[in-house]
Amino acid sequence: MSMTKLLHKLRPVLVPMGPLEKIIPQKFEAVGFGWVMFYRGKHTYDLYVRYESIHFQQQVEMLFIFNWLTWAVWILYGLTKYRSLSKAYSSTPFEKEAQLIVRNTNYNKERKLWGWTDHV
């Protein structure tokens, strides 16, 4: 089995936010960290699970820690370039790739290994 097919089979553990809803700001419908993905209500479930699943695949292919370190480097680069945390965050190649699901609901199935590198 190829690495890409293996990645497509891996899924995070989905957990309703529950008490975390009081801590996590309302603008976040789903939050993923490592193997766990917390999500708010049913009305956003499908979209945000697909969205966070792309981030999950990115983390797995970079063994989690390297993804977080690379993310930090991109955020720092974006902060120096844009002077805005929001703009720096949305300009990372990881976010650019995840935004593709808004237009393509099959992206998780079609995604190639290291797909985020197309957005560097």
Per-residue pLDDT of 1-55, as tens digits, reads 676 777 667 778 888 888 888 888 888 888 888 888 888 876 666 777 788 888 9
Residue with tokens 């990115």: 58
CA distances from 114 to 31, 33, 59, 63 (A): 21, 19, 10, 12
The pLDDT of residue 45: 66
**pLDDT(116) > 90:** yes
Q: What is the spatial distance between Cα 82 and Cα 33, in angstroms, rounded to a whole number?
A: 26
pTM of structure: 0.82
Which amino acid belongs to residue 62?
Answer: M
CA nearest neighbour of 39 among 60, 9, 18, 23: 18
Q: What is the spatial distance between Cα 93 and Cα 99, in angstroms, rounded to a whole number?
A: 10
The pLDDT of residue 9: 74
The pLDDT of residue 70: 97
pLDDT tens sequence across 65-108: 999 999 999 999 999 999 999 999 999 999 999 988 777 878 87
Domain ranges of the chain: 3-107
The pLDDT of residue 1: 62
Q: How confident is the model at residue 62 (pLDDT cuts 50, 70, 90)?
A: very high
- Residues 15 and 38: beta-carbon distance below 8 Å: yes
Q: What is the spatial distance between Cα 59 and Cα 66, in angstroms, rounded to a whole number?
A: 8
